[in-house]
Structure 1
Amino acid sequence: MFQQLRESGPGLLVPLAWLFVAAAAVGVVESRSIFIAHLVMAAFITFFLTTGWADMSTGALTGWRAVMVVGLGVTLAGVAGFLVDAGSTVLWTTSLVGWMLLPAAGLAYTGRLLDEAAEVYIASAAISGLGAVVYILSLVGYGDSIGFVGLGGLALVGLGQTVGIVDAVVRF
């Protein structure tokens, strides 16, 4: 069962996470729920790292192991944002943008290593990366983060990451 969860879980968790983020951005989800989601995400990442460390020692999975190690730190930065007043916005933004960019890098790395699926992973990385850029632009004044521009960025990130992870779950 653990093996099946490790192999298939991300294909469901990734799109659900980005739908949750979008719901939070428009005010449908309260901050307490976001805090709990960060804790759950940290637990899932720890589970995947603990149970799959050896399996992720070669090939493209080596890159994903690095994404998850750094991602655990990025997630804990988000947790810290709920526990401290000073710098909370910076910590939350670091967590959110970190989770936009880290998987984009992992997808690009995977695309470089897997000839048979390079187009899928490079395109997924590009879409996700474009979404991160769009979202960051919304944060610095080209729209607001809960407006059309910010939600468009979130949608692109979610789409890019979902395509890549679903392909990985199906392919492997």
Structure 2
Amino acid sequence: MLQLLRESGPGLLVPSAWLFVMGAQVDIVSSRSIFIAHLVMAAFITFFLATGWNDMSTGALAGWRAVMVVGLGITLAGIAGFLVSTASEALLTTSLVGWMLLPAAGLAYTGRQLTDASTIYMGSAALSGLGAVIYTLSLAGVGSGLVGLGLVGVGQTVGIVDAVVRR
């Protein structure tokens, strides 16, 4: 059961997380809910690292282990953004954009490792990266943050669903 959760869980968690973030973007999801989601995400990442560390030591999974290690720090920065008044905006933005870019790097790494699925993973990385750029531009008043989040969500979902199916 634990193995099945580790292997299949991300296929549900990734798209759910991005839908949740998009809900926050349009004020359907409260900031308190996003704070709780950060706490849950930190727990899930810790769980996946603790239970799968050895399994993620080679190949494409080694790249994802690195994404999760750095991602835990980025998630903790987001948690800190809710708890401190100084630099809270910077911490929250770092967490959000970090979770756009880290998986994009992991998807590109996977595309280089799995040449038979390179198009899927490189395309997923490109969508996620483009979404991060569009979202970041929206912070300066150019473009739609929701479009950026949608591209990130689609890109990361395609990659993780392929990984779950391919396992």
| TM-score normalised by the chain length of structure 2 | 0.99
Tell me how far 1:171 sits from its aligned partner.
0.5
* 138, 143, 151: which one aligns with 2:146: 151
What's the RMSD between the two structures over aligned residues?
0.5
Identity of aligned residues (%): 77
* Structure 2 partner of 1:76: 76
In 2, the alpha carbon distance for the partners of 1:124 and 1:87 equals 31
SS at match of 2:29: coil
Unaligned runs of 5+ in 1: 144-148
Query: What amino acid is aligned across from residue 168 of structure 1 in structure 2?
Result: A
Aligned to 2:122: 122
Pairing 1:14-163 to 2, within 5 Å after superposition: 14-143=14-143, 149-163=144-158
Distance (Å, rounded) in 2 between the aligned partners of 1:134 and 1:127: 10
Q: CA deviation at 1:89?
A: 0.3
Paired residue type of 1:89: E
- Separation in structure 1 between the aligned mates of residue 46 and residue 69 of structure 2, nearest angstrom: 9
- 1:26-57 CA-to-partner distances (Å, cap 9, x unmatched) read 11111111110000000000000000000000
Alpha-carbon distance in 1 for matches of 2:141, 2:150: 19
Number of aligned residue pairs: give it. 167
State the TM-score, normalizing by the size of structure 1: 0.96
Report the CA distance between 1:86 and its aligned residue. 0.5
Q: Where in structure 2 are there 5+ consecutive unaligned residues?
A: none
